[in-house]
Amino acid sequence: YHSQNDAGHAVEMLLCGDSLPGFFAAGTTVVIDGWTFFVVSEVDATDSKSNLVEIKSSRTERILKTPSAVLQVALNGSEHILGCKLDDDETRLLSAKWFSAEEIQQAHQQSFTQAGQHVRYMLRKVRDFLKQ
């Protein structure tokens, strides 16, 4: 769980509004070391071709390059990331830039490898604990 009182949610409200109750989600099945997981994530928006779009907001483009952001986009199936910058009051959109999710993922293959190794290690710990 995370707070919805941040720049990321502010830009989503500015661009998408809050006209519909609840949220839309995408589901993905992931297999890691023989374990199958169903991952559900919120869908921020879609483009004119109905492709999923992840909306990110930050004072810099660094948020687009964090391992957690790259993993999130890989799991939720977004085609694009819309990187946005808001004013200090988070009431006006100052700039927006489209990024290819595929290009960002390819540029961060090393972080996927490291995350995968960490997950495999932790899954073995969970499996050993459950066997007790």
- Report the chain's mean pLDDT, rounded to a whole number: 79
> Rounded to an integer, what distance in angstroms lies between the CA atom of residue 22 and that of residue 45?
14
CA 12 to chain centre: 13
Contact between 61 and 78 under an 8 Å Cβ cutoff? The reply is no
Residue 21 is given by DSSP the state S
Determine what percent of the chain is predicted with pLDDT higher than 70.
Answer: 77
Q: What is the pTM of this model?
A: 0.70
Give the strand pairing for 45-46 and 52-57.
antiparallel
Least confident range from 68-72, 76-80, 82-86: namely: 68-72
Give the list of residues 6+ apart from residue 9 with CB closer than 8 angstroms, or none. Answer: none
